[in-house]
Amino acid sequence: MTTLELHLDVVGSPTLRRPLDKRVLTLGSDARADLRSPALPKQWAMVKRRDDERIEVRFLESGDVVVLTLGERVARDGAALALRSPQAVDDTTDDTTPRLPV
């Protein structure tokens, strides 16, 4: 089974990442959420890992359910959730991206 990771992008915040290390994960601003962002509603979404390397995302306020496969993303309420592989190359940077001196 491929290692999968959730990526949560919220405007004005760095990308939050969480491995799919549990069958069900919760997302929101609640202190008990598995993936937390203060910009989200307290109980924003629930993610269920399926056996076919896809995830079901249930947005709790609307009840909408979206199935994502590797590389897909969905946007709601000013946030975007994506299913990624941690081994995948991050194409948001390249050799021309300025870096701080070390």
- 5-29 pLDDT, tens digit each: 999 999 889 999 999 999 999 999 9
Name which of 36, 42, 41 is nearest 13 in CA terms.
Answer: 36
Range of the domain at 64: 5-84
Residue 23 lies in a domain: yes
Residue 95 lies in a domain: no
In this structure, are strands 73-76 and 79-84 parallel, antiparallel, or unpaired? antiparallel
- 48-89 pLDDT, tens digit each: 999 898 999 999 999 999 999 999 999 999 999 999 998 765
Residue 94 lies in a domain: no
Name which of 31, 29, 33 is nearest 78 in CA terms.
Answer: 29
Residue 102 lies in a domain: no
Q: How many domains does the chain have?
A: 1
